[in-house]
Amino acid sequence: MVTWRKSLLAALLLSCVVTIAACGSSSSSPSSSSSASSGSTSTSTAAPSSGTANAAVAKLVPAALKSKGTLIVAADASYAPNEFIGSDGHTVVGMDADLSKALAALMGLKANVVNATFDTIIPGLASGKYDMGASSFTDTKAREKVVDFVDYFSAGTSFFTKASGGTSVSGLADLCGKSVSVESGTTEETDAKAQSVKCKAAGKPAVNVLVFPTQSAANLALSSGRAQISMADSPVAAYQVKQSNGTFKLVGQPYGTAPYGLALPKSANSAPAVLAALKVLESNGTYKSILTKWGIESGAIPASEMKINGATS
């Protein structure tokens, strides 16, 4: 090939590569803002006053977050009705998603709720990948060592089993010698393993704790008989039993009522802003209406109990 043709070809290829790279980077921003805007239109019917920023709240938002403009919220969408994938197949919906969008709007930010496996959310907050974790986190002292929490809900743990042929238990103590399916990284996993230690100390057979990456996998193990019982947060257990159309049933008594917290990275200093926004939602009735929409208003807490790092255990 003639030399000038070679250099012309090289120049053309180079410009193609540069154009493709530029297209790739610029197309990512419009798609993320469109998903955030489609998210806010779905919640506008539930919370009419959440669209506008609140000046007092916006003042507390840290500068880094304000300049970013987006609040990246992580939720493990296998936990209906708190967080699950909607009917379009990719948007995270549920109580935590609605609450996050309402809070972000008051802070003058756009919420981008992403799906992430539960046990990756707290490490993701610590590494700066996410700005907030709204995934039915129980506020515990152990977790408070890694992230900050803004308490916003109250829930206990319930047991459920197969409706026909399932095993009945009345509480944690009955789990000795049984197989339990739990989700990885949850307080249920910690409780089941602690109970297993107690069973062995008392001379009884240990609890066979089966840990799965998502609650859906835990439910599947229950329905296939690998596990005899499953444990999940009470509102979630009640909702999933209802949705299962008679496959599962609740057994025993819920235990360990504890606050849910919105998880925030310690370094970001966003807890005061989130707490202020939450209290605004509580005072204007949006908080109650979001919970009622998902049928879990029994776990609502009064404004006096909404605090930063209020773990009881």
Partner 1 sequence: MSASEPSDRRTGRPDEIKAVPVRRPGRWIAAAIVLIFAASFARTIITDTGTNKGFQWVWVGHYLFDSRVLHGVWTTIYLTFLSMVIGVVLGIVAAVMRLSPNPILSRASWLYIWFFRGTPLLVQVLFWYNIATLFPTISLGVPFGPAIVHEQANSLITPLAAGLLALGLNEGAYMSEIVRAGIISVDEGQTHAAQSLGMSRLQTMRLIVLPQAMRVIIPPTGNETISMLKNTSLLYVASFTELTYSVTQIYNVNYKVIPLLIVASIWYLVLTSILYVGQYFIERRYGRGFTRSERASMRARWLSFGGGKQRR
Give me the residues that bind partner 1 (CB under 8 A), please: 119, 122-123, 126, 142, 145-146, 181, 184-185, 189-190, 210-213, 217, 220-221, 223-226
User: Closest CB to partner 1 among 217 and 301?
Assistant: 217
What b-and-e string marks burial along 282-304, b requiring 16 or more CB atoms within 10 Å of the CB?
bebebbebbbebbebeebbbeee
Nearer to partner 1, 32 or 214 (CB): 214
Residues in the chain: 313
Q: Is the dihedral of CA 168, 173, 176, 181 positive or negative?
A: positive
Q: CA-CA distance, 221 to 265, in Å (whole number)?
A: 33
For the bound state, the minimum distance from the C-beta of residue 143 to partner 1, rounded and expressed in Å, comes to: 9
- Rounded CA gap, 154 and 148, in Å? 17
Kindly state the smallest distance separating residue 142's Cβ from partner 1, in Å.
8
Least distance between partner 1 and beta carbon 151 (Å): 20
- The residue written with tokens 């249920």 in the block is 188
Provide, rounded to whole angstroms, the least separation between the CB of residue 176 and partner 1.
19
- Nearer Cβ to partner 1, position 167 or 223? 223
List C-alpha distances in Å: 24 to 11, 31, 32, 191: 20, 11, 13, 46
Question: Is 17 or 142 the residue whose CB approaches partner 1 more closely?
Answer: 142
Q: How far is the CB of 185 from partner 1 (least distance, A)?
A: 5
Q: Which is nearer to partner 1, 122 or 264 (CB)?
A: 122
Query: Beta partners for 83?
Result: 79
